[in-house]
Amino acid sequence: MSNSNTSNQDEWKKEAEEHLIRYCGDFSPFVIASAKGAYIYTQSGRAILDFTSGQMCSVFGHNHPEIIKAIQRACQGSIHLLSTMLSPAVLRLCKQLATLLPEGLDKCILVNTGAESNEVALRMAKLTTGGFEVIGFTGSWHGMTAGAQSHTYSTTRTGYGPVMPGSLALPAPYAYRCPIRHCTGTCDNTCLEVGIELVDKQSVGALAAVIAEPVLSAAGIIDLPSNYLKRLKQLCEERGMLLIFDEAQTGMGRLGLNFAFERDGVIPDFLTLSKTLGGGLPLAATVTSKEIEGHCHAKGFIYITSHVSDPLPAQVGLAMLQILEQEQLAKRAREMGAYLELQLNALQDKHECIGDVRGRGLLLGVEIVEDRERRLPAPELGYRISEKCLELGLSMNIVRVPGLGGVFRIAPPLTITEEEIDLGISILDRAIEICTA
């Protein structure tokens, strides 16, 4: 590296240390100047293949031309309005979402982030049922706001004081490492039955809702089986609880369907969308039934924020639905996901440190272990591989499952090509070779 480049790097790091709150541990070792498609580009012009779609949000690739056009259209109209004022884009987006979704998911509110969309669902569930107890899954991630964080059971709970009263947890059906030491490799729902028994014993009789991701991402890419979700829905109905599906990462085609719940024939009482709905812009939605919305309205439901129903992100949401349909990206996610999984399985055959490959569509997990036979966790090895990948030109995200191992969350844009997948696999292969030599 030249003295000039070193000096520039030292300068931006100094600025970051002086002026930024460090919100995610260490920042990446470079500044990003631009992004397009499946690549991000540093200030020095270096291209890095992005296997995380940004923060899992740029689901159709960075800076998709139709998204840019949508932003330009919004800037020619209105960007922001008083919360009680509606724009044509907001009306059209809510109507199109309702048209795309099954009956029972009919009415929508547009907000900014996944945490916010979950807050709306939680407030409405509590208002509808009269209860306050909410069940989440171990390892789950639903956001950083107070309510959503209370039902998030990943690595973000320690040190911030009490959570919301009534926060209860179910063991995630982590078949590779059964949480109740019962199964190996497959889940027979015993963990669900045991978990619900514990919930029943802890409850004070005020159960309101279960909130679940169809694929638990921060927990290490844990796919909730179809029969599991059907039983979960039944258990909710027996107890008067409402079911919230958080599809922040699984919506908009990523799992090979428009929305993940479509596979299972289980329609939730609330569907929350974010990340992928905005394609890189802050847009989220909470969708529920006419009956629940009417009940909440009659009880005086209120949710006013500075940017509820903003026109600009709604224009982008409309463009996202158009891209999803016109480019048949759910179908492409199935095809490219199958190809990527095949390549990852080949890497597993080659490298002892890959203990498991799992997931659906273009949301796949690779668990790194010290010993495949004994399934000994190796999170530090995973971090070294991740750092080496970035050094070689591939952005990978690894999560450390509390008390267990490190899992790569692989979520490239749905527009990824076979050639780009091959490049990513070759970099990952090389990084593993270097780190395990």
Q: Do 254 and 59 contact (CB within 8 A), yes or no?
A: yes
DSSP codes, 51-77? SSHHHHT-TT-BT-HHHHHHHHHHHHS
Count other Cβ atoms within 10 Å, centred on residue 200: 13
For residue 219, which amino acid is it? A
Q: Establish whether 356 is a catalytic residue.
A: no
Q: Establish whether 12 is a catalytic residue.
A: no
Determine which one of 133, 213, 269, 310 is catalytic: 213
Q: Establish whether 234 is a catalytic residue.
A: no
Could you give the CA distance from residue 189 to residue 224 in angstroms, rounded to a whole number? Answer: 10
Determine which one of 126, 177, 239, 275 is catalytic: 275
**β-bridge pairing 394-395 and 47-50:** parallel
Could you give the CA distance from residue 420 to residue 49 in angstroms, rounded to a whole number? Answer: 8
Determine which one of 149, 249, 315, 343 is catalytic: 249
**β-bridge pairing 284-288 and 354-360:** unpaired
Determine which one of 246, 247, 310, 367 is catalytic: 246
Could you give the CA distance from residue 50 to residue 269 in angstroms, rounded to a whole number? Answer: 34
Could you give the CA distance from residue 173 to residue 228 in angstroms, rounded to a whole number? Answer: 9
Q: Establish whether 409 is a catalytic residue.
A: yes
Measure CA 397 to chain center: 12
Extract the runs of DSSP E, i.e. beta strands, from 78-206: 107-111, 133-137, 167-170
Quote the DSSP letter at residue 370.
E
Could you give the CA distance from residue 57 to residue 251 in angstroms, rounded to a whole number? Answer: 10
Q: Establish whether 15 is a catalytic residue.
A: no
Question: What are the helix (H) ranges across 180-281?
Answer: 190-202, 226-239
Determine which one of 50, 116, 141, 247 is catalytic: 141
Could you give the CA distance from residue 185 to residue 169 in angstroms, rounded to a whole number? Answer: 22
Q: Establish whether 141 is a catalytic residue.
A: yes
DSSP codes, 103-134? TT--EEEEESSHHHHHHHHHHHHHHHHS--EE
Give the pair of three-digit tokens for residue 80.
């922001």
Could you give the CA distance from residue 326 to residue 430 in angstroms, rounded to a whole number? Answer: 37
Determine which one of 310, 358, 409, 420 is catalytic: 409
Which residues, at least 6 apart from 72, have a Cβ–Cβ distance to it below 8 Å? none
Extract the runs of DSSP E, i.e. beta strands, from 296-353: none
Could you give the CA distance from residue 55 to residue 279 in angstroms, rounded to a whole number? Answer: 10
Q: Which of 34, 25, 71 is nearest to 54 (CA)?
A: 34
Q: Residues with catalytic annotation?
A: 141, 213, 246, 249, 275, 409
